[in-house]
Amino acid sequence: MANSRNKVTKYRRPLNINIGMIIFAVIFIYIVICIFMYFSTEKIVGYEVKEGALSSNNIYKGIALRNEKIVTSTNAGYTNYYAREGERVAVGNLVYTIDETGRLADYVKTSETGENSLSDKDLSELKTEIESFSHGFDRTNFSDIYNFKYNVQGTVIKLANYNVLQNANDLNNTSNTALINYYNAKESGIVIYSTDGYEELTLQDMNKEYFDQNNYQKNHLINNELVAAGDPVYKLSTDEDWSIVIQVESAAFAEELVKEEYIEVRFLKNQYTSWGKVDAFTNVDGDTFVSLTFTNSMITFCTERFIDIELLLEDETGLKIPNSSIVEKEFYIVPKDYVTKGGNRGAYGVLLETYDEEGNITTEFIETTIYEETDDEYYLDDSVLRSGNYIIKPESTEKYAISRMGSLQGVYNINKGYADFKQIIILYKNDEYSIVKSNTMYGLNVYDYIVLDAQTVEDNDFVYE
């Protein structure tokens, strides 16, 4: 009997696709897409505006401006100075001599000059200069070492030149002609033995390039140096009134300082304080500078052009916002006479010149938001207006072509669920936060919500936190 084998075949159940499976698949795909979009798109994060204080870094490097006159030589020869740098000279005091032949230096070397020593007063002045240099030395500004060298030389030059002066008299007495010419001060002032091209600068001449010390060159006028006729031999600062000019962050900050009229200033070199009268100037490049004018201490800093100071201001309070929220936006600028109220809501807008289907000129009231105003103009939203549009002056036939634009700094307010630009006026600013003016007509209020990162939204975007 033959054995037969039974072949077993696996039964495959047919795939039954029903409506439930389709719905489940759609929901699953939707969830996957939502998760992908959530992790791949930037998050819009809100920030609640609150009142706060900003501890500003009020330390600045300023440029000293003084009433300085450069005195030039009338003869060629070798200079010898008899007034110490930083010393006040009166009219008629001997400041320097000119040795036309150079024989004076040789005469001094071969003559017995006697033994010299520094007085207690000279030693005290020398000690003060060394201590000031030691405390204020910055390794990144190595040129200060050379300035210190010349200052120390100036401290002892008077003592050394007493004997030189006697040698000059002896040399003139042994010669039939005057080889040594004497030059006295023609007016009183503080003697300075250097020039730098900043002598005639004023506040209105300022630009940021003057603050770049890498380009600054100070020309020291050195004792026993050969000069030609017309070369500078010394500089005279003739007025005790002087100024320090600093560059500030914004015109708004400068305006707040000007309102104070006088600001207390600390000089970082010696920690002395003084009150300076405030003035401000903004140049054509938009850079703002503040001048602080003093009536004392000029002689202390007469040899220095760059001076580190601290403005002694109280910590300012206001609406504190992160710098990441700040954005700049362009707006159309139109005269106030062309803006009126109309529409069902009585909102602000303009009468826009349009054409009907038959080509006839007509006007249409277009509602537009005002974002800022000056005495004569409004800043209007650019979303409904276009450059080249004509708007009509109410109750007149006068037309104005929209073209001029201006930028405003602001933030995106999201109180209403969409990004609404609000203009701000920055008073103070540091690396992370700004203090902005509160209670402005078109600005922010305390407890408003704004977009933390202004780069994540555009104007009028709907916002979901």
Q: Give 462's DSSP letter.
A: B
Q: Read off φ and ψ for residue 162, nearest 5 degrees.
A: -60, -45
Q: Minimal CA–CA distance to 244: which of 301, 196, 286, 195?
A: 301
- Separation of alpha carbons 148 and 216, rounded Å: 17
Helix (H, G, I), strand (E, B) or coil at 39: helix
- Residue 448, by phi and psi: left (phi above 0), alpha (psi -120 to 50) or beta? beta
Contact yes or no for 392/402 (Cβ under 8 A): no
Q: What is the pLDDT of residue 81?
A: 86
Residue 37 CA to chain centroid, in angstroms? 42
Q: Give 42's DSSP letter.
A: P
Mean pLDDT of residues grouped by 10 in the chain (465 residues)? 57 67 83 75 79 75 95 90 87 88 63 53 66 64 61 58 58 59 91 93 94 90 87 93 93 90 90 93 93 92 92 77 92 92 84 82 87 91 86 89 91 89 86 85 89 85 69
Q: What is the CA radius of gyration of the chain?
A: 38
Q: Minimal CA–CA distance to 252: which of 430, 423, 426?
A: 426
- Separation of alpha carbons 245 and 63, rounded Å: 5
Alpha helix stretches (DSSP H) within 186-332: 251-260
Q: What is the pLDDT of residue 122?
A: 60
- Separation of alpha carbons 463 and 449, rounded Å: 11
- Separation of alpha carbons 417 and 463, rounded Å: 5
- Separation of alpha carbons 434 and 441, rounded Å: 19
Alpha helix stretches (DSSP H) within 100-195: 103-110, 120-136, 144-173
Contact yes or no for 151/131 (Cβ under 8 A): no
Q: Read off φ and ψ for residue 415, nearest 5 degrees.
A: -60, -35
- Separation of alpha carbons 392 and 352, rounded Å: 6
Contact yes or no for 235/199 (Cβ under 8 A): yes
Residue at 352: amino acid letter: L
The kind and range of the H/E element at 186 are none
Helix (H, G, I), strand (E, B) or coil at 419: coil
Q: What is the pLDDT of residue 113?
A: 47
Q: What is the pTM of this model?
A: 0.53
